[in-house]
Amino acid sequence: MDELWVAQHVSPELLAILPETLADAEALAASIERAVQAETSGGVANLAVIVRNDRIWLHGSCSSFYCKQLAQHAAMTMLSAVRLTNCIEVD
């Protein structure tokens, strides 16, 4: 990522919590996945957490909007300053 672009577009608060390496991003994704699965009691099938730049995406499927909201809440409690996109589908 271009450092000038980052300086112009990403807040200092956000930079403080974003992963700096691929290994850090993978560890963050794994932590979020564990939190989501714990909060939903494994209710999200095929859960995938994607960490890219200043955004995190949740993908998977579940049986209710309540479960989808629980998943989002679990992720947001870990990442209050990061943009989160919840793409979990409700069957």
Say which CATH number the domain at 36 has: 3.40.1520
- Per the DSSP assignment, residues forming a β-bridge with 75 are none
Domain that holds residue 27: 3-90
Number of domains in the chain: 1
- Which pLDDT value is given to residue 24? 83
User: For residue 11, which phi and psi values (nearest 5 degrees)?
Assistant: -65, 150
Predicted TM-score of the model (pTM): 0.75
Long-range contacts of 26-32, Cβ-Cβ distance < 8 Å, separation of 24 or more: 26/51, 29/56, 31/78, 32/56, 32/58, 32/74, 32/75, 32/78, 32/79
Q: pLDDT for 31-65, tens place per residue?
A: 999 999 999 999 999 999 998 877 899 999 999 99
